[in-house]
Amino acid sequence: MTLSADTDCSHGTARPEPNATASTSQLTRSQTLSELKTRIKAGLKTYPDFPKKGILFEDILPLFASHTLHEDLIRAFELQIAESLGPHNIPDVIVGLDARGFLIGPTLALRFGAGFVPVRKAGKLPGEIETAEYQKEYGTDTFAMQTSAIQPGQKVLVVDDLIATGGSAAAAGTLVEKCGGQLLGYIFIIELTFLNGRDKLNAPVFTLLESQED
């Protein structure tokens, strides 16, 4: 892993840039990202009428069962983030949503030399916490984050597997801001565009794949 010339003053260590590969040096970033997205989409499995009738469930777990697809996924996230945020907005913290965001966030954080902070359901975290409610299909739920997990001014990127209505992601963004973080944006594997979830979010939204409607 190559190190950038910039130094993370909060930790006194050089911040690593995203890994460079031979394929990236031979192809343009957009070409490489497009190829990765194609492989990722092919690696998903779909289950009609799950968890209830009328829903086409997109299963991301096969992406983690395969070492190659897992690497493709993380590399695609790296390239999408670099392309969307630019070289001066490398995140200090990756925030992952309970629970599938936990599958992506820690590995992605390591690639960027960032910390990982989980957003959990209420009642799961000890110590001083911040909370934010969000609307579900039947009632409300509450997300929580430890107050000290993010330091004021740190650049934060929120990650999850999918954005649907956007309620849970919006709650995570609220928690980041309550803790004093600078919210760079949100990134997801899949966006269900017909639900317009990104309209609820007050920061840029980046996705690798679009919904079942395309």
Q: Per-residue pLDDT tens, the chain, 214 aa: give them.
A: 333 434 444 444 455 555 544 444 435 677 799 999 999 999 999 999 999 999 899 999 999 999 999 999 999 999 999 999 998 899 999 999 999 999 999 999 999 999 999 999 999 999 999 999 999 877 899 999 999 999 999 999 999 999 999 999 999 999 999 999 999 999 999 999 999 999 999 999 999 999 755 4
Instruction: Evaluate whether 29 touches 83 at the Cβ level (below 8 Å).
Output: yes
For 163, phi and psi rounded to 5 degrees? Answer: -110, 125
If one counts every other C-beta atom within 10 angstroms of the C-beta of residue 204, the result is 14
CATH code of 27-210, in short, is: 3.40.50.2020
Domains of the chain, by residue range, sit at 27-210
The helix (H) or strand (E) run that includes residue 206 is strand 205-210
Enter the pTM of the model. Answer: 0.85
Burial class (CB in 10 A: 0-12, 13-18, 19+), 13: exposed
Active-site annotation, residues: 100, 137
CA distance 57 to 101: 17
Cα dihedral 153, 6, 104, 29 sign: positive
Instruction: Evaluate whether 73 touches 116 at the Cβ level (below 8 Å).
Output: no
